């Protein structure tokens, strides 16, 4: 019985890349992304770990992609799929701004992303958060999970680490927070998710989106606000 079970596990490792919990053709993914609007901006954040099965391929990946001047996208799921999606959406938004002579709105960017995710939902593994500022709606956050539903939300958390921090963000988030308070909360939340979720890790990247410019920040793994070194 022991040898039979051992042989079965060995066959599963061989066929699924040393990851016996996965089905045939299934891809292991994991991340933590978050976006919260403030009175004077929007703060987005993400961890930096990219894995291929049980192997960490990149500890300092940038999962926050800029779609337009004041619109950003936080990516979760397959890195290849989400990078291709953001490249397409950025291209279309740039063409739209040239044709209309004005910057695209966050709503347009979110629904364009939703349309591309929905039309290719059988081929893609992508869950994203589109957030930013525009002169029509101000600061806004849209969440597009797997399946390509598009929801405008007060704040958004997604990825495999999100389940560990919903209570934390619910208890500490206030709509009247400043961007500095928001950035502190985002770092704290992502650090807690990284400490609990085995698929999130590395370091933390954040971006504060404001009408007068965007401010990027990087927190290395040995300076996290919570965790083994925090």
Residues assigned a catalytic role? 31
Residue 196 is inside which H or E element, if any? helix 179-196
Residue 81 is inside which H or E element, if any? helix 79-100
Distances in whole angstroms, Cα of residue 3 to Cα of each of 6, 7, 8, 142 = 5, 6, 9, 51
Residue 33 is inside which H or E element, if any? strand 33-37
Phi-psi domain of 99 (left: phi exceeds 0; alpha: psi -120 through 50; beta: other): alpha
């Amino acid at each position: 019985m022991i040898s039979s079970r051992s042989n079965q596990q060995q066959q599963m490792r061989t066929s699924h890349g040393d990851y016996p919990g996965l089905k045939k053709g299934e891809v292991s993914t994991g991340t933590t992304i978050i976006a919260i609007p403030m009175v004077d901006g929007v703060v987005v954040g993400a961890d930096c770990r990219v894995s291929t099965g049980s192997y960490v391929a990149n500890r300092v990946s940038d999962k926050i992609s800029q779609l337009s001047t004041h619109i950003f996208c936080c990516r979760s799921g397959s890195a290849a799929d989400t990078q291709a999606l953001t490249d397409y959406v950025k291209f279309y938004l740039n063409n739209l701004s040239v044709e209309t002579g004005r910057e695209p709105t966050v709503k347009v960017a979110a629904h364009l992303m939703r349309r591309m995710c929905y039309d290719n939902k059988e081929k893609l593994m992508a869950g994203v958060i589109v957030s930013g500022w525009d002169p029509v709606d101000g600061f806004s956050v849209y969440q597009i999970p797997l399946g390509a539903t598009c929801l405008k939300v007060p704040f958004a958390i997604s990825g495999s680490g999100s389940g560990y921090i919903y209570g934390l963000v619910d208890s500490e988030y206030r709509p009247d927070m400043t961007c500095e308070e928001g950035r502190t909360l985002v770092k704290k939340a992502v650090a807690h998710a990284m400490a609990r979720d085995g698929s999130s890790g590395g370091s933390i990247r954040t971006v504060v989106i404001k009408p007068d410019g965007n401010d990027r920040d990087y927190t290395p793994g040995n300076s996290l606000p919570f965790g083994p070194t925090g």
